Amino acid sequence: MDLDLNVDIEAQEYRSAEKRLTLTLPTAKVLKVQRIQNATQWLNYNAKRETVLHEGGQEVTEVFHGTRSTSPDKIAMSPVGFDPKLGTSVVGVVWFASDAHYSACGYSYVNSTLSQDHHQTCEQLLLCNILRNAKPPRAPSTDVGQPGQIHEIREACRCLPTHIISYVWNR
């Protein structure tokens, strides 16, 4: 499993991840984008994706996930990835947000090593692909104050973390 694949700042892949983050987090400054390449997770996700598409298909959606106190590296390196059995608010569910702002408000991981290197609080979010459930996404709770969609995923093989985005922002 390869995790530490820093994406070059000039690459389209970097600019795309940066654009997705700053779309709803406009004051964020991206410090680093890491590509996640976990063969086990990808094989499980791809098998599920092929099955779902063959059965009439649901689309793949790119979303954000904040890991709070769990290092994104742990999820990236795990053979399972997201484990719905370990859901924090509702066991059996992993939550994803269409908007980076929603995931950043209270769900982002604070990377203390990067924070020291940059002399400010460095946060991290996972950028992921999900196979959406048949159940439509719901609006986020109003306490966050940012419109968007929240997606519930109940099977680990429906989620694939693709990047870790490290950033700083003014709240």
The domains of the chain are located at 2-139+146-168
**What does the pLDDT look like over 70-129, one tens digit per residue?**
899 999 999 989 876 655 556 678 889 999 999 999 899 999 887 666 678 899 999 999
Question: What's the pLDDT score for residue 168?
Answer: 94
Question: What's the pLDDT score for residue 48?
Answer: 92
Question: What's the pLDDT score for residue 151?
Answer: 87
Question: What's the pLDDT score for residue 146?
Answer: 44
Fold observed for domain 2-139+146-168: Phosphoenolpyruvate Carboxykinase; domain 3 (3.90.228)
Between 30 and 86, residue with greater pLDDT: 30
Question: What's the pLDDT score for residue 10?
Answer: 96
CA distance 83 to 59: 21
Give one DSSP letter per residue of the chain, joined into a string: -EEEEEPPTTSHHHHHHHHHHHHH-TT-EEEEEEEEE-HHHHHHHHHHHHHHHHTT---EEEEEE--TTS-HHHHHHSSS-S-GGG-SSSTT-EEEESSHHHHHHHHPEE-HHHHHHHTS--EEEEEEEEE--SSPPBPPPTTS-----EEEE--GGGEEEEEEEEEE---
**What does the pLDDT look like over 115-166, one tens digit per residue?**
666 678 899 999 999 997 555 556 555 444 445 788 888 888 999 999 999 9
Question: What's the pLDDT score for residue 32?
Answer: 95
Between 150 and 64, residue with greater pLDDT: 64
Report residue 150 CA to chain centroid gap: 12
Question: What's the pLDDT score for residue 44?
Answer: 95
Query: Is the pLDDT confidence value at 57 over 50?
Result: yes
